[in-house]
Amino acid sequence: MADKKTGEGEKPAKRSKMPLILGLVLALAGAGGGFYAVWSGLILGRESQSGVATRKVDDHAAIGAMPDIAYVPVEPLVISLGDGASGKHLRFRAQLEVAPDHLAEVEKLMPRVVDVLNSYLRALAIGDLTDKAALTRLRAQMLRRLQVVTGEGRINDLLIMEFVLN
């Protein structure tokens, strides 16, 4: 059993490109068929127009009534920041979201609420206010302090209406 050697003038046989072309055609056909099946609703099907309309009506029925809440405005605060020479000021205005049962109690404690907010905001450095995530972090810190001052369950949320640093 001897190996056949190619001669000096003979070229090796070229491989056929037919499997490559056939694979490409089948891949394109599969991709097109998959697109059509999803687009037409055969896969991950779309609902009929009546099904969509029924679902919208059901969604509105499931939403229900608005929760019973009240808002207590906090008087606007203008706070000087840093040393007096820099002249930076923060203008802050907010509202407190409370349950209507606790509205009178929270309004009665408003001087204490303003004092806590004023003290907290004055203690901040300018760098604490210029960070991109500062407002979210400050809001959470202020809300927690207000809940401690007014008592648990009286204040649901702190809504910042104005936060201007100049």
Tens of pLDDT, residues 86-124 = 778 999 999 999 999 999 999 999 999 999 999 999 998
Q: What is the pLDDT of residue 82?
A: 73
> 38 near 126, Cβ under 8 Å?
no
Mean pLDDT estimate for the chain? 85
Strand pairing class (155-165; 70-81): unpaired
Q: What is the pTM of this model?
A: 0.59
Q: What is the mean predicted confidence (pLDDT) over 134-142?
A: 93
Residue-range domain boundaries for the chain: 18-63, 70-165
- Assign domain 70-165 to a CATH class: alpha beta
Tens of pLDDT, residues 56-71 = 555 565 677 888 899 9
